[in-house]
Structure 1
Amino acid sequence: MIHYTCDRCKREIDACHETRYTVRIEIQASSDPALADFDEDIDHLTELHQVLEGIADDDLDFPLSLPAQIVRYDLCPECHQQFLKNPLGRDAMMAIGFSNN
């Protein structure tokens, strides 16, 4: 028999009698093309051509982009409601309150 535990409150979830919620988060690196540094003296088409030739020569032995990270959490019904109210946990971070030293 599979046992589930809420990843937030650590309470055991009885999958036969209550709903178990699964939160799946995908994290990817992203960049804003508008903020990229472009040098007017560089021939970008030539550079792109060289990169593509290198890919063909290497037979795609390396990833073209960073892989996404996927994390999964199981939540009980009570923690599911709390997660929906505050998915990033901002209230907890604001309540810490550091001094102005």
Structure 2
Amino acid sequence: MIHYTCDRCKREIDASCETRYTVQIEVQANGDSNRSDFDEDIDHLTELHQILEGIADDDFDFQLSEANHRGSYDLCPDCHRQFLKNPLGRDAVLALGFSNN
């Protein structure tokens, strides 16, 4: 039998009597958003050459792994409801409740 655990609260999910939700997240780095794709002043061949030269650099592998992410996460029904209320976790910072010293 396969055992599932909620990736948010770490509670075991009993798939025989409750629903297991799977959240798939894919993050990709987006190029310069101020630049138009149809800008004729850009030399695309030179740009491609620079990218290919950068592949040999060790820094390129680090930047690529930091910029792109793909993951699949299991959620129990309670965590699924919480996720749908706040998928980006925006309110989490406000909920910390720092003192005013």
Partner SS, residue 17 of structure 1: coil
Q: Taking structure 1 as reference, are residues 81 and 46 closer, same or farther at Cα in structure 2, changes over 3 Å only?
A: closer
4+ residue stretches of structure 1 with deviation over 6 A?
none
What is the TM-score of this pair, normalised by structure 1?
A: 0.64
User: Number of residue pairs matched?
Assistant: 88
SS at match of 2:26: strand
Q: Percent identity?
A: 61
Larger Rg: 1
List alignment gaps of at least 5 residues for structure 2: 57-63
Give the RMSD, CA atoms, in angstroms: 3.5
* Pairing 1:1-101 to 2, within 5 Å after superposition: 1-35=1-35, 44=43, 47=46, 51=49, 66=64, 68-97=68-97
Change in CA separation of 1:35 and 1:100 when aligned onto 2, cut-off 3 Å: farther
Q: TM-score, normalised by structure 2?
A: 0.64
AA aligned opposite 2:84: L
Structure-2 separation of matches of 1:43 and 1:17:
58
Per-residue CA distance 1:27-58 (angstroms, 9 max, x = gap): 1111234259xxxxx87266258x3xxx7xxx
The one-letter amino acid of 2:43's match is: H
